[in-house]
Structure 1
Amino acid sequence: MRIVFMGTPDFAVATLQRLVEHNFEVVAVVTAPDKPVGRGLKMSASPVRKYAESRNIPVLQPEKLKNKAFLEELAAFKADLQVVVAFRMLPEAVWAMPPKGTINLHGSLLPQYRGAAPINWAVINGEKMTGVTTFFIEKEIDTGKIIFTDTLEIGENDTAGDLHDKMMWTGADLVVKTVKAIEAGSYPEQPQDFSGELKAAPKIFKETTEIDWSKDAAALHNFVRGLSPYPAAWTLLADKQLKIFETRPLDALPGNLERVQNGGYPLYTDHKKNLVAQTGNGFLSILSLQLEGKKRMMTEEFLRGYRFDS
């Protein structure tokens, strides 16, 4: 069975690697065009392109997926199946091309958390469980018939980054299971049930990641870890942006802390190890952070070099 794989980031590399390790015939890879990165704006290839080239797999990098030349080039590979992981939305001319269809890996238990950021929103909403789903791509995004699912636990202090790393390999193995079933011609196709209460996973923008300290400590803990490590929840400290990556909720303010001036929400510290913010209900201990213009660091390191206004 001839397979064309479509994906761009590290998350997608895990699945491509698993397909190669299981000796599936990946005849081509479609990934994002190279882009300039860093201060020197040096052109950089996507992680998927780098892996594909290391395995001598042909790579396509179309600017536009409806481009006639790209569609002809893609069709020339005569794929039986296309596998999509962490790629952009496909036009019907692409996903309808192979005879066995095009499958997608989604980072939730569909139909819950349809959208661009399912990992982040599951953590922000305080879910205890989530999972991965393989399904056939259809016209409406994330609505196709479900093939297989697998579940994952979310720990109370797991960040979106932690869940991403676990889901990456669980999802890769689920895709292998799915492709084997399609190759054998025996697999389920379960229509999604949209009748219940559904939670969405829209794209996250920087302007919606500011911390609202009027919310309770537990909700803010979920908010912080759901945005960690990227794009990161943030607040202001002396008119500078302060990104917060790791926290712990507290019911009461620890002893020996004094309130310091920061021009906004109540903030307490012992100037040594502890930095605690007051929330609408309870307190939030800040464990790792990054002040604008500085590197990310643990709070203890930050307090050794920062002086609050008196």
Structure 2
Amino acid sequence: MEKLRIVFMGTPDFAVGILDAIYKNNYEIVGVITAPDKPAGRGQKLSVSAVKEYALANNLHLLQPTNLKAESFIEELKALNANLQVVVAFRMLPEVVWKMPALGTFNLHASLLPDYRGAAPINWAIINGETKTGVSTFFIDEKIDTGAIILKKEIEILPKETAGELHDKLMNLGSETVIETLKLIEEGNVVTEIQPEKEEKTAYKLNKDNCKIDWNQESEVIFNHIRGLHPYPAAWTFFNDEDKQWNVKIYDTEVILEKHNLKPGTIVSDKKTLKIAVTNGFIEVLSLQFPGKKKLNTKDLLNGVSFTNNAFCN
């Protein structure tokens, strides 16, 4: 059995769950690499990554390179004398980095590869109405999410599950899978499976355009789109009423299947409920956020806001 000396690379909360599992299973972590601090918010105060916070709290050796090819960083990395690197939700590594450790570099990806390679696998699995997803560990190669698979674990996606809820389930499953992968590597029992070249479903990077709601779609498609972006970055739409327009984020919704003659996007509201017409019924909005305001239950919003009969979304 080979004693592992691990360098961990990651940035967001999802990566922290995996790092915590490695740490609590008493593996030797010789270094943690995360993104540089960056300005955020109105005050542009420096924001630190979730992985950095964890590393500092547990006195782990931390590196925050701006350039992964910089000679100074490569020398620091070599000096850690790691024999394995574990990557979770980080950036693409140059060959000089992923080839460095004797036992290789493996990545945990939150999908059943080869499906949903890319930046937002959790979101797109829900947006596309999948009923199952999972996690995969694989040895990194020169492309993105294409390396030889070590382990795959499957999990059910519940009909009303949000991206946030699935994120937490996959983080727990990912932690177990990474520990199992470490044991296989430690014992020299890894058997890999080459991924097929095909990539039928892609986890495109989320942006303003693909987060905007298209009210001309059927209710189920819109419902999946909204829950697939809940709580972050959130689906959005324009609310229009007379001469006013608001950029509104929509969070919790329900589907109402009902025949009507309304144009898709028409807002129907009273003092307690807010519904938006779609081709085969309505999307009832249960919580939402107006610009510059906090997220509210619709009932609370309607205590102070009312809409005319001309209100619509686009």
Greater mean alpha carbon deviation, residues 127-136 or residues 203-212? 203-212
Please tell me the residue identity of whatever aligns with 1:279. V
Partner of 2:223 in structure 1?
221
Q: 2: CA distance between counterparts of 1:293 and 1:6?
A: 35
Q: 1: CA distance between counterparts of 2:235 and 2:160?
A: 15
Matched residue SS, 2:30: strand
Q: 2: CA distance between counterparts of 1:54 and 1:182?
A: 28
Partner of 1:148 in structure 2?
151
Describe how 1:154-303 pairs up with structure 2 within 5 A: 154-195=157-198, 198-238=200-240, 239-252=245-258, 265-272=265-272, 274-303=273-302
| Residue 187 (structure 1) shift | 1.5
Q: 1: CA distance between counterparts of 2:201 and 2:182?
A: 28
Matched residue SS, 1:140: coil
| Residue 264 (structure 1) shift | 8.0
Per-residue CA deviation, residues 171-227 of structure 1 (Å, 9 max, x unaligned), is 1111011011101100220001235x6211110111221111110001000011111
Q: 2: CA distance between counterparts of 1:42 and 1:270?
A: 41
Q: 1: CA distance between counterparts of 2:259 and 2:7?
A: 56
Kept in 2, the 8 Å contact 1:243–1:290? The answer is: yes
Q: 2: CA distance between counterparts of 1:192 and 1:40?
A: 45
Describe how 1:59-70 pairs up with structure 2 within 5 A: 59-70=62-73
| Residue 275 (structure 1) shift | 1.0
| Residue 302 (structure 1) shift | 1.1
Q: What's the TM-score once normalised by structure 1's chain length? A: 0.93
Matched residue SS, 2:289: strand
Q: 2: CA distance between counterparts of 1:243 and 1:54?
A: 34
Per-residue CA deviation, residues 225-275 of structure 1 (Å, 9 max, x unaligned), is 111111111111121111111111111279xxxx9xxx9821112222x11
Percent identical: 51
Q: 2: CA distance between counterparts of 1:281 and 1:252?
A: 6
| Residue 305 (structure 1) shift | 1.2
Q: 2: CA distance between counterparts of 1:298 and 1:188?
A: 50
Residue of structure 2 aligned with 1:38, choices 36, 41, 49? 41
1:56 to 2:59 alignment: yes
Partner of 2:312 in structure 1?
none
Unaligned runs of at least 5 residues, structure 2: 310-314
Q: 2: CA distance between counterparts of 1:205 and 1:41?
A: 21
Q: 2: CA distance between counterparts of 1:242 and 1:271?
A: 19
1:29 to 2:32 alignment: yes
Kept in 2, the 8 Å contact 1:206–1:231? The answer is: no
Describe how 1:65-76 pairs up with structure 2 within 5 A: 65-76=68-79
Matched residue SS, 1:278: strand
Matched residue SS, 2:247: strand
Kept in 2, the 8 Å contact 1:265–1:278? The answer is: yes
The alignment of Structure 1 onto Structure 2 pairs a total of residues equal to: 301
Please tell me the residue identity of whatever aligns with 1:271. K
Runs ≥4 residues deviating over 4 A: none
Greater mean alpha carbon deviation, residues 32-41 or residues 224-233? 32-41
CA RMSD in angstroms, aligned pairs only = 1.6
Q: 2: CA distance between counterparts of 1:146 and 1:6?
A: 19
Kept in 2, the 8 Å contact 1:4–1:28? The answer is: yes
Q: 1: CA distance between counterparts of 2:200 and 2:210?
A: 21
Matched residue SS, 1:305: coil
Matched residue SS, 2:19: helix
1:90 to 2:93 alignment: yes
Describe how 1:111-130 pairs up with structure 2 within 5 A: 111-130=114-133
Kept in 2, the 8 Å contact 1:3–1:25? The answer is: yes
Please tell me the residue identity of whatever aligns with 2:214. D
Q: 1: CA distance between counterparts of 2:172 and 2:264?
A: 42
| Residue 294 (structure 1) shift | 1.4
